[in-house]
Structure 1
Amino acid sequence: MVDAIATAATKWISSQLIDEVKFLYGVEDQLHKLQNDLKCMQQYIQDVEETQLDEKENGQLTIFTETIREVTFRAEDVIDTYIIRVSSNRKFTGFACLQSNTFEIHDIGKQIEEIQNDMKNVA
């Protein structure tokens, strides 16, 4: 009985670790996608600012634009954090690099997921 519990626990822990490693290695890809999304959001904001709309439309659009602007600022902060904390501090390669930045990468990955969820909600 104890062996069965230990085996099940080991499989569950292994599964969780594998998922976390996949997540950590996927953060850089998520970051590149976020950079592309950021360019689109910035272009939208610029287009809205250049377009003259009447007061009624402008009032409704302003709320939407401000929401996008907020998400844009958060995305810029996450990208800057990644560059400062992870990219510029890569002293090792492979697993050693992953180990030295694990908490930063995990935190950044979670922030990227939150921003992407917010972008979906805005859309």
Structure 2
Amino acid sequence: MLNTDSTKPIYLQIAEWIESEILIGNFQEDDKVYSQYQLAEMYTINPATAAKGLNLLVDEKILYKKRGLGLFVSSTGKEIIINKRKNFTLKGLVRELVIEAKQLQLSEKELMMMIKELYEEEDKQ
């Protein structure tokens, strides 16, 4: 899960991992998520680093705090993640793909065909 060789900070990797767990359904609305200490133990990291990742999700309203009980998935958490990843992450990847395709002088039709083929391959798996 965590890639210590990555240039991406560990706290961001923690936040993205929890987001992915919410997206695939391992954490549902109002489910309690791991504490900073559980995450620190699981991944042998500093609890403050884990807390930074969790607080990022609280700031984005994906998680909410219940005083004395921990952090829980908000009712809009999954929707927030989907919108964030669609509008920022996916859009950025598509932008890079289009730039690369243009540099390779690939037509829009050829690019769309490649995407369609890969999309269909993923459906079969």
Do these two structures clear the TM 0.5 threshold for a shared fold by scoring above it?
Answer: no
Higher relative contact order (CA 8 A, sep 6+): 1
TM-score by length of 1: 0.28
Greater helix percent: which structure?
1
